[in-house]
Amino acid sequence: MTTTTDTATLPGTDRDAPGDDAGARPHPRTAGLPDVPAPRDRDVRWELAAALRAFARAGFEFGFNGHVSARAPEAPGHYWVNPFGLSISTVTPSDLVLVGPDGAVVDARPSAVINGFAGNLRLHQEVEDAAVVVHLHTPSGFAWSSLGRPLEAVTTDAALIARLQGLTSTIWDGASSPSAVDLARDGARVVLQRGHGFVTLGRTVGEAAFYLLAAERAAAANLALAAVPDRAVLPEAAQERWTLTPELARAHFETELTRVEAEGLR
């Protein structure tokens, strides 16, 4: 879905709706692809640490800015969060900090300090699918977010998330635009905060993490083509066919998780 500051519409649910080229080529999520495998049985802290390392490799670390968090399956109402002051390129599962329902750290370690968790906490508590919430200061995403307009499906990569996005400026103007929670409840999984980049969310670490990778790639493409007057945007029917499902987003990120596994993260 694409949501502006004034509207919020759900993405199309009829995956077989006819379009100008419907039937011209196979559905990209079924033809030529194996069945999406079931999620691997991994500890959520390990997956969070692995995702953070993948984000560092992608160049998303900027000082201590950003926070990636997940509901703690072993402690309902609690959340695992990356700590303040530790590079995401070196984080391990044991470095993650446990936070309680009120947002306060319940970990007794002196190094257990977090930064800027209020937005994540609200999404975790008020949106059922927000088991994992990701916000990092990605270069292209931050630049694009200053324009205050949604990303266009200028490539099939950008189409992966074009219909899953929502736009908010509540970080600056209070309640005059939909909040991240409002947008997520309406189906957004990539929230563009005006002047403050992306927040992504999902049921699994892989889902939320791949939305961020895809959104950053889409922002880079949009920035590259922004000044081109006759740039092409994919038709709605094509966008609908390319839109990520939660299962496909998670499966796409599996390549990053297996790479970190091979590196021996403990």
CATH of the domain at 158: 3.40.225.10
Is 50 domain-assigned?
yes
What is the tally of structural domains in the chain? 1
Is 27 domain-assigned?
no
Query: Are the CB atoms for 169 and 5 separated by under 8 Å?
Result: yes
Domain that holds residue 192: 40-263
Is 116 domain-assigned?
yes
Establish how many alpha carbons lie within 13 A of residue 102's alpha carbon, considering only the half-sphere containing its beta carbon: 3
Is 23 domain-assigned?
no
Is 142 domain-assigned?
yes
Is 208 domain-assigned?
yes
Beta strands (DSSP E) in 10-157 are 67-71, 79-81, 97-99, 132-135
pTM: 0.86
Is 223 domain-assigned?
yes
Each residue's pLDDT, cut to its tens digit, for the chain (266 residues) gives 544 333 333 333 333 333 333 333 334 444 456 677 777 779 999 999 999 999 999 999 898 888 899 999 999 999 999 999 899 999 999 999 999 999 999 988 888 889 888 999 999 999 999 999 999 999 999 999 999 999 999 999 999 999 999 999 877 666 667 999 999 999 999 999 999 999 999 999 999 999 999 999 999 999 999 999 999 999 999 999 999 999 999 999 999 999 999 999 98
Is 13 domain-assigned?
no
* Burial environment of residue 108 by CB neighbours within 10 A (0 to 12, 13 to 18, 19 or more): exposed
The rounded distance, in Å, linking the Cα atoms of 80 and 73 is 10
